[in-house]
Structure 1
């Protein structure tokens, strides 16, 4: 199975909204590489929809003013929210007033052109499917981002099934991300071996429910894969995400390109 970038576009703009920073970049859709440096502005406090929209617009304005950058390239934005038909249905590390906000309308109006929006874990999954560890993998692939919580993306033959919130599964009597996220390891002072055992239990549960061909681990904890990945024992193949810092930007740009093709 081979995925190819949309031939109508060579470049697209991607913006990744996080709890501490809003990062953007110009993405070469054929190589999966950033064109020039990514640009970052601190996430505003409070991170209300209008305040975030203004920063997203400022990030894009800087990127579009760079020499040789096409003004009409597609724009995609990734946010830490369930995004259903363009509307935010949750808010993680951003202001609760995001819930119910028409993100597509808000951002498109602020930027002055059509924008596509998706969940940040979904964006990371798209990036790995097109340019990373899931490239060419047939069947079901689960992407899990282990950080403050657990973000997740499900891909089937490279196509995204949006808003697959596996961090909110109940596991061992609590929400899974409460006990198996990277922040849980730090909060409870777990050793890497202890954390690997706990994470392994959660992954076994997910493996049983969905029978994926591959599980990709990303997020902050993936910066130290050698400390816990070798301790995991699963039937499913495990891979480490290849685009940790730029995955949201890459996936957002790719989504923008596909939706505008």
Structure 2
């Protein structure tokens, strides 16, 4: 496999930072991924040091892609949900390049996963409006229209029934309240029907760990839009980051 068809993606999360080279023709990892626990406190410099360790492990000298659990606007991290608050307003591109000596494209984690699903996964070849929705601690979203990403949509934070609705419909809410699949499905129906009325997507792809149990809860979700499980699962962020950096 020629080097020009290989990228490298790193997925920064609140508990772990993982990365691997990616075969960009197949949309698959080209080597076993390396995971290192996220340093505490997870300051920009400390996280960048771990990113550098992953790059060194794979002897990677070229530009690479990096996901981050926040709004990322032109390389600046504007929010910080599960990482140190010093990330708010940080120039992530500058910090990572300064610490690692290599250039990174930093993107929102849901956006990276969404692009991977559109390019290689459940929405491959789809030319319409695709919403990729990740159900986990919160609700992440990626909106892709005609193959082009609309970055930082943050659709998990829509206000419904007087609350930020991810507090009721995320997978963490299901676990916290010990909801049955049916009761959780009713909340997801409320959420997705609201999003449908705002955006009229052609396809909704659901990611996050619970997508592995799609057949157990999806019968209780009613949408007019086709609803399908994500295919790339835990590797989507790494693959999408490598793809976006390569492009």
Go from structure 1 to structure 2 and tell me whether the alpha carbon gap of 1:37 and 1:8 turns closer, same or farther (over 3 Å shift). Answer: closer
When normalised by structure 1's length, the TM-score is 0.92
Secondary structure of 2:233 counterpart: coil
The residue aligned with 2:134 is 145
Q: Write out per-residue CA displacement over residues 66-89 of structure 1, whole angstroms, 9 at most, x where no aligned residue.
A: xxxxx4543000000100011000
Contact 1:11 1:73 (C-alpha < 8 Å) held by counterparts: no
The residue aligned with 1:44 is 39
Q: CA deviation at 1:189?
A: 1.4
Q: 1:216 aligns with which of 201, 205, 209?
A: 205
Contact 1:147 1:221 (C-alpha < 8 Å) held by counterparts: yes
Q: 2:24, 2:61 → 1: CA distance?
A: 15
User: Are 2:10 and 1:15 equivalent residues in the alignment?
Assistant: yes
Q: 1:104 aligns with which of 93, 96, 100?
A: 93
Instruction: Give the total of aligned pairs.
Output: 246
RMSD (Å) for aligned C-alpha atoms: 1.3
Contact 1:9 1:73 (C-alpha < 8 Å) held by counterparts: no
Equivalent residue runs for 1:128-207 within 5 Å: 128-207=117-196
Spell out structure 1 runs of 4+ moving beyond 6 A: none
Contact 2:77 2:88 (C-alpha < 8 Å) held by counterparts: yes
Q: 1:74, 1:32 → 2: CA distance?
A: 18
Q: 1:8, 1:40 → 2: CA distance?
A: 23
When normalised by structure 2's length, the TM-score is 0.97
Give the unaligned 5+ runs of structure 1.
1-6, 65-70
Secondary structure of 1:239 counterpart: strand
Q: 1:192, 1:239 → 2: CA distance?
A: 17
Q: 1:8, 1:74 → 2: CA distance?
A: 13
Q: 2:225, 2:234 → 1: CA distance?
A: 25
